[in-house]
């Protein structure tokens, strides 16, 4: 497993592991002992970068990650997030300084650690100046409670303002072969100031693997049906991009998931995707993407073809879209 560098010095494996789906978002939480075994298997395969958040569960995902990684704490990088809380069964953005200071203490305890390697503001709170949040993060850094900080789903100007107060190490946002908007402004801005990029959902929430079509039904605790791209009509219309990825997989003697991940990693050396899974076989498959070689010529050809494939459906429902890109 090769190493990549986020920001000015956070070294991580070239592919990470998103742990959210083990406890939250994609159906009934998986068996805890099985997930601990899966996380530890990933460590054995060279993965050093693990992503969680306070709100996943809430709380139970951090507890899972903390228990799984406790024996390897000195060898791994743990990223977690603050800034979203549950109120009356709904997620509410809360970036107030006192909320962040309370959150870090809970996360440290659940993750069984004295410090967080990479601490994100999960969503920007428009009621709190980002400079004020950056100052809180700087203080947590001085106290030794965090070593790096980042923003998730933040807009360009917010990123620049935050970075000017206390340099950011990473920005996390969605990026994949069917969601390429970050290429327009975000990636050039991050490259300009030296901030790493951590794409979540690099497999399009599983869609790019070819597992889903208009006849797919999701469990009641699976969030995917609320996303417009996962309506039956959109999944039918978007089979064209699945077919394209499958054709590339055949060409490269790989799987669609491996092609989708290799494509993300080939964009920039400071991009580290964090695909998630609860299946050991899928984990091995995803890690196999690091062996897929896509040349600059391959990337140019693929990008040109992707640009001609229309994608139906918004990325987020209206409620979620309002919280992104602030």
Instruction: Report pLDDT for 89.
Output: 86
- Cβ-based burial of 146 (10 A; exposed 0-12, middle 13-18, buried ≥19): buried
Residue 20 confidence (pLDDT): 98
Residue 224 lies in a domain: no
- Helix (H/G/I), strand (E/B), else coil: 208: helix
Q: In which element (H, E) is residue 170 found? A: strand 170-174
What is the bridge-based pairing of β-strands 170-174 and 196-200? parallel
Q: Is residue 13 part of a domain?
A: yes
Q: Which of 26, 56, 175, 227 is catalytic?
A: 56
Query: What's the pLDDT at 217?
Result: 94
What is the rounded distance in angstroms from the CA atom of residue 47 to the CA atom of residue 75? 10
Q: Token pair of 221, please?
A: 């605790």
Asked whether residue 260 is domain-assigned, the answer is no
Q: Is residue 241 part of a domain?
A: no
CA distance 104 to 111: 10
Domain that holds residue 125: 3-203+268-292
Q: What is the pLDDT along the chain (326 residues), one digit of tens a residue?
A: 999 999 999 999 999 999 999 999 998 999 999 999 999 999 999 999 999 999 999 999 999 999 999 999 999 999 999 999 999 889 999 999 999 999 999 999 999 999 999 999 999 999 999 999 999 999 999 999 999 999 999 999 999 999 999 999 999 999 999 999 999 999 999 999 999 999 999 999 999 999 999 999 999 889 999 999 999 999 999 999 999 999 999 999 999 999 999 999 999 999 999 999 999 999 999 999 999 999 999 999 999 999 999 999 999 999 899 999 98
Does 56 participate in catalysis according to the annotation? yes
Over the stretch 192-244, which tens digit does the pLDDT of each residue have?
Answer: 999 999 999 999 999 999 999 999 999 988 999 999 999 999 999 999 999 99
Q: Is residue 132 part of a domain?
A: yes
pLDDT single digits (tens) 141-153: 999 999 999 999 9
CATH label of the domain that carries residue 90: 3.20.20.100
Residue-wise DSSP of 242-291: HHHHHHHHHHTTS-HHHHHHHHHHHH-TTB----B-S-HHHHHHHHGGGG
| 320 within domain boundaries | no
Residue 263 lies in a domain: no
Q: Tell me, yes or no, whether 317 lies in a domain.
A: no
Our count of domains for the chain comes to 1
Q: Is the pTM of this model over 0.85?
A: yes
Residue 220: predicted pLDDT: 85
């Amino acid at each position: 497993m090769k190493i990549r560098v986020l920001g000015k010095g956070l070294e991580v494996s070239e592919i990470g592991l998103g742990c959210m789906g083990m406890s939250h978002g994609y159906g009934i939480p998986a068996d805890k002992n099985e997930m601990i075994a899966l996380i530890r298997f990933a460590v054995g395969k060279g993965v050093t970068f693990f992503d969680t958040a306070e709100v996943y569960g809430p709380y139970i995902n951090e507890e899972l990650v903390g228990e799984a990684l406790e024996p390897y704490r000195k060898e791994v990088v743990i990223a977690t997030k603050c800034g979203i809380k549950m109120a009356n069964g709904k997620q509410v953005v809360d970036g107030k300084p006192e909320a962040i200071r309370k959150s870090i203490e809970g996360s440290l305890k659940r993750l069984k650690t004295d410090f967080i390697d990479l601490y994100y503001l999960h969503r920007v709170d428009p009621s709190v100046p980002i400079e004020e949040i950056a100052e809180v993060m700087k203080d947590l850094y001085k106290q030794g409670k965090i070593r790096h900080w980042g923003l998730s789903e933040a807009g360009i100007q917010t990123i620049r303002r935050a970075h000017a107060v206390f340099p950011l190490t990473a920005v996390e946002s969605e990026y994949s072969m069917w969601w390429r908007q970050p290429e327009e402004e975000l990636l050039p801005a991050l490259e300009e100031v030296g901030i790493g990029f951590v794409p979540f959902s690099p497999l399009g929430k599983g869609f790019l693997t070819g597992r889903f079509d208009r006849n797919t039904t999701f469990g009641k605790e699976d969030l995917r049906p609320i996303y417009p791209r996962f309506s039956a009509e959109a999944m039918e219309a978007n089979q064209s991009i699945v077919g394209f990825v499958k054709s590339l997989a055949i060409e490269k003697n790989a799987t669609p998931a491996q092609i989708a991940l290799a494509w993300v990693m080939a964009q920039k050396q400071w991009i580290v995707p964090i695909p998630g899974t609860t299946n050991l076989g899928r984990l091995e498959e995803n890690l196999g993407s690091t062996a897929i070689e896509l040349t600059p010529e391959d990337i140019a050809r693929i990008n040109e073809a992707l640009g001609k494939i229309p994608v139906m459906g918004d990325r987020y429902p209206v409620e979620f879209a309002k919280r992104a890109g602030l």
